Structure 1
Amino acid sequence: MRDTENVPLGENIAAYFKREVLPHAPDAWIDEEKSKIGYENTV
């Protein structure tokens, strides 16, 4: 299964993952090789 999360740019990814993802999907994990840091233009 694949899913994505948009983490706020200033947020610690591990803290966000623990707080926002793991309570809903305790077996979730992060593939660090596919992680990207940047921003999304929503205009």
Structure 2
Amino acid sequence: MANFNLDPWGTTALVEDDYARLIKEFRIEEITETLRQKMM
């Protein structure tokens, strides 16, 4: 059983599909653009 106190968001399950879904739901394009710039 997962320990939600240590891992409340289920980070291990946060795959790219989940990330893409979050972008669509919350419309955080500005944040993703910032992340892209930091990754380059």
Fold in common (TM above 0.5): no
Greater RCO, 1 or 2 (C-alpha within 8 Å, sep 6+)? 1
Report the structure number with the largest CA radius of gyration: 2
- The structure where helix makes up a greater share of residues is 2
What TM-score comes out, normalization by structure 1 length?
A: 0.29
